[in-house]
Structures are given as structure tokens and as C-alpha cells.
Amino acid sequence: MKNLIKKTAAAFIISALGCSAVSASVVDWTSKAGISRLETSQHKGDFFKLANNFEAQENKVYCGVASTTIVLNALRVRADKIEIPLDESLVAEENRDWFPQGGFSPVYARYTQNTTMLKSPKSVQQVMGKPAVEGGRKDYGFQLGELEAMLEGNQLDAKAVHVDSLDNLNEMKAEVINALDTADQYVLINYARKGVEQPGGGHISPIGAYHEASDSFLIMDVTPNKANWVWVSSDQLFSALATKDVDKNRGYVVVSDTL
């Protein structure tokens, strides 16, 4: 009877805090606790530009492409002296008759997942699973090094960190938090969804904020039809980064502009 009372009390406390009954380490950002964390976070400098330029991935293997596109737009939209490629495919030729003629473009200057992929180290078909060499293995999406190469191909400065061990956890946390506090510097993470108690395999999304009191980071998931943005404890998050991908461990990339 005492154990039942204890379990009931614990469940009530978790519910009152707005946390998941499965784990207090993963907290939906729309819950009372999640909203409170964002309100009281002292490390959320990146959140607002990321949110303003947020977009969902266009298909099930484009999480890295969507994350890169968000960061490109956060860094460069309306920036002086930066020419952003126009994605003319957004408005079909047959729908342009009523627009002004003579060089007018009906699309805005912002990166799309189509234009981001133009600088990818992998072709669209390879991202979709086509082996790089005949008879080779399928490699869907992007591994961490490939994500770094796509960022660099788009003329961004990218530093990939493979999390092979948690021995230097404090140093890695400090690097991510510093990026959140630094203007025009962003962090993309490549993590195992199972490590944050979600179904699925490897995934890529931006980090938007850090909440010191709960020692948790906000993952701005680029698949909103599958999972909400969530706060994840730093221990659980870095454990999800320290997981094996195809060739190497997953990890994070610190990104800034070179232009």
C-alpha cells in the first residue's frame, strides 16, 4: 500500500511539472514546464532566428537538408551583399503569366531544401539510398561528416565533433552553450532518436536553447508531424550523440558564416 501511495504521489508531481510520465529527462516544449524553461533560459540567443526561419524536412531523409536550410536562412536572409540563389521551381512556368515580365522573379531570395542540396556531397538519389558505387551499401540521409561537408559546400564554417566518449562531457556542453550565446553561431546535432525516447533511427535537428536549472537543451525537431520540440537533459542528449552511425559515432556541428 505504501509503495502504491509513493508511485501515485510521484506520478502527480511529474504531471504537475508538465513532464512526461515516462521520463522527466524529456519534456515537451509546449508543456507548462517546457514553456517555463524557455521563458527562464539565459542561453536562448539562437532560438529566435531559428524559429523565425524554421521549416520541416520535405521528406523522411532530408532532416540534415532542412536543418542546414534553416541555419543558412537564419544567417543570410536580408544580409547585405550576400546573393542567395533563387529557387525558381517554386512557381511553375505555367503559373507565371500574370506576373510582370522581363526578368521579374516571383520567388523570394531565401534558401530552400532544393538549393541547399545543390552543394551537397551526395546526390539526391544517394540521399534517397542509391549506393555511391555499384553493389555498395545504401546510406540514407547524412552522416555527421557529410552534413559538415554540405555546410561547407554552402560556404559556411562548420566544425563537426564526433562524440566517441563522454569523458569530456563538460567541455562539449560548454562549447554548445557558448555557441548558443554567440551571435550568428548555431549548433546542429546528429543523434539517435531512441536515446531521447522516440521511435526511429538517426536524426538531425538544431539546438535552440539551454536551461541551466534543469541542465537541459531544447531540440527543435525538423519533423513536427512525428515529434514536438523537446527539452532533453544534457546527460541523455550527449548519450544519444555518442551512438554509432554507419561509419563513425554521431555528434554535433558548430556552424557560423564565412561570408
Residue 176 CB-half CA count within 13 A: 31
Nearest in space to 191 (alpha carbons), one of 213, 149, 221? 221
Structural domain range at position 68: 21-257
CA–CA gap between residue 208 and residue 213 (Å, rounded) = 16
Average pLDDT over residues 155-179: 97
The answer to whether 243 touches 191, Cβ cutoff 8 Å, is: yes
Q: Is residue 13 part of a domain?
A: no
pTM of the entire predicted model: 0.89
Q: Round the average pLDDT of the chain to a whole number and report it.
A: 90
Q: Is residue 1 part of a domain?
A: no
pLDDT tens-digit series, residues 185-200: 999 999 999 999 999 9
**Burial code of 64-92, b = ≥16 C-beta within 10 A, e = fewer?**
bbbbbbbbbbbbbbeeeeeebeebeeeee
pLDDT tens-digit series, residues 204-253: 999 999 999 999 999 999 999 999 999 999 999 999 999 999 989 999 99
Q: Which residue has the cell 537533459?
A: 233
The answer to whether 241 touches 189, Cβ cutoff 8 Å, is: yes
**Structural domains of the chain, count:** 1
Q: Is residue 7 part of a domain?
A: no
CA–CA gap between residue 142 and residue 130 (Å, rounded) = 13
Q: Is residue 62 part of a domain?
A: yes
Residue 81 is part of a domain; what is its CATH number?
3.90.70.30
For residue 180, with 0-12 CB atoms within 10 Å meaning exposed, 13-18 middle and 19 or more buried, which class applies?
buried
* pLDDT for position 226: 92
The answer to whether 186 touches 179, Cβ cutoff 8 Å, is: yes
Q: Is residue 54 part of a domain?
A: yes
pLDDT tens-digit series, residues 50-89: 999 999 999 999 999 999 999 999 999 998 878 899 999 9
Residues whose CB is less than 8 angstroms from the CB of residue 200 and which lie 6 or more positions away in sequence, other chains included: 193, 194, 226
Q: Is residue 195 part of a domain?
A: yes
Radius of gyration of the chain (CA): 20
φ/ψ of 68, rounded to 5, equals -65, -40
Q: Is residue 3 part of a domain?
A: no
CA–CA gap between residue 213 and residue 72 (Å, rounded) = 31
pLDDT confidence bin for 10, thresholds 50/70/90 = very low
Q: Is residue 201 part of a domain?
A: yes
* pLDDT for position 24: 63
* pLDDT for position 6: 38
The answer to whether 250 touches 243, Cβ cutoff 8 Å, is: yes
